[in-house]
Amino acid sequence: MKKQLLFIFTLVMCLTQASAQAFDVGNLSYNIINTTKLTVSVTGFVPGQETEDLVIPEKVTDANTSIEYTVVRVVPAAFYNNATGGANNVITSISFPGSINYLAFNAFRSLTNLTSINFAPSNLDTSVVKMENFVFAGCTSLTSVDLTGVNVNIGHGTSGANKQGSNVFNGCTSLTSFTLKNNAQSSRIFTGFFNGCTSLETLDFSGTAISIISPLAFANCTALKTMYLGSDVPPATVNSNSFDGIVAPIAGGTLFVPTATGVNDYSNDTVFDWDAYFSIAAGTTLSTNKHELTPSFKLFPNPATNTIRVSKKVVSAIIYSTLGKEIRTFNNQKEFDISNLSNDLYLFKAKFENNTTETIRFVKQ
C-alpha cells in the first residue's frame, strides 16, 4: 500500500512539474527552457486557435507566475503540417522576433499555403541563429526569403540526427529569390539547402564570403539565372553534385563577384568550372551610394493582411499609396492596423527618435 501511495505521489509530482514547465499565451503554447535566463521555446498553436498570420513574439508572460520570458526557440515539428492533420496549413505568413536563435527540424515543414517569412533583425545579445534539417522544406507557396540582418549560420545546425541543417528549403518550388547580405556567420551552403527549388532565379550573397558549397546545395534549381557571391576568392570546396540537374551552360546565367580580380580568379578556378555554368562579371547589390542605405528596421509580415509590425518603435508613421497619397497616420507604436486598406502596394514612412525617417514598401493582401 505504501509503495502504491508513493508511486501515485511521485506521478502527481512529475505531472505537476511538467505542467509548470508549459503554459499558453494567446494562441501559442510555450515550454520553459531555462529558469535562470528566463527563456522559452514555442511548441505550437493552442489546438483550435490556428491563424493565417503566425506572429511569434519576443516576450511572453506566464499568467500563473507573472514571470516574463524571452522566446528563443521553435521546437521540432512545432508547426509541421503533417503533424496535426493539416490544421497548421492555414498559415500564410510567419514573423520571427529578433530574439530567436534556434529553429528545430521540421518546424514549419510542408506548410503549402505559406507565402512569406519575415525575420526581425537579430538582437545584439542573440546568439547565432541555427536551423536544423527540413525547417521550411515543402513550403511550396513560399516566394522569397531575405535573411539580411539576421545573425544566422546557414552552413550548419548542430551535431546529431536531423540537426545538421540540411535541406532547409528543399522542395520550395515557388521560391524565386534568396538574399543573405553582409553575413559574417555563414561561410557554407549546406547539403541540399535549395534542392528542388525549381523556380529559384536569384541568389544574393553580396558581402557574404562563401567558402564551402555542399552536396546537392543547388540541385535541380533549373530556373537559376543570377548568383552574387561576396568574395573575390572562389569557394575552397564545391561538391561535384552541388549543381546536379542544372544543364550547363545556364542560358543567360551570370555569376557576379565583387571585382575584376574575382572575375579572373573564378574563371581560372581549378576547384569548380564556374565558366561552364555562368558568365562571370564584377558586380554587387551592396549600395555604394551613401544616400541609399539599407533601412535600419524591418516591417513584418510582408505581405500582410490585418496588422503590420516594425522591429523598433517609431515616433510617427505615415502610410502612402504608390501615387504619394497619404492614407493613414500613426504615433508612438510598433504595431499598425491595416485591415481596412485595400489590397495593394503601399509605402510605410517611419520617423524615429533621432529625427531620421526611413521608408519601406509593403503589400496588403
Do both 200 and 327 map to the same domain? no
Do both 352 and 219 map to the same domain? no
Burial (CB < 10 A; 0-12, 13-18, 19+), residue 156, is: buried
Specify if 44 maps to a domain.
Answer: no
The model's pTM: 0.76
Do both 264 and 329 map to the same domain? no
Ranges in the chain, pLDDT < 50: 2, 5-19, 288-293
Interval 17-59: pLDDT, tens:
444 599 999 999 999 999 999 999 999 999 999 999 999 999 9
Do both 96 and 242 map to the same domain? yes
Interval 101-132: pLDDT, tens:
999 999 999 999 999 998 888 876 777 899 99
| Structural domains counted in the chain | 2
Q: What is the pLDDT of residue 39?
A: 97
Do both 172 and 256 map to the same domain? yes
Are the CB atoms for 155 and 335 separated by under 8 Å? no
| CATH code, domain with 274 | 3.80.10
Tell me the one-letter amino acid at 67. I
Rounded to an integer, what distance in angstroms lies between the CA atom of residue 3 and that of residue 224? 67
Specify if 135 maps to a domain.
Answer: yes
Backbone φ and ψ of 318, nearest 5°: -130, 135
Do both 115 and 243 map to the same domain? yes
Specify if 49 maps to a domain.
Answer: no
Do both 264 and 303 map to the same domain? no
Do both 142 and 206 map to the same domain? yes
Q: Which domain holds residue 351?
A: 299-364
Do both 219 and 337 map to the same domain? no
Q: What is the pLDDT of residue 254?
A: 94
Residues 6+ apart with CB under 8 A from 265: 232, 233, 234, 257
Q: What is the pLDDT of residue 247?
A: 95
Do both 237 and 102 map to the same domain? yes
Q: What is the pLDDT of residue 334?
A: 82
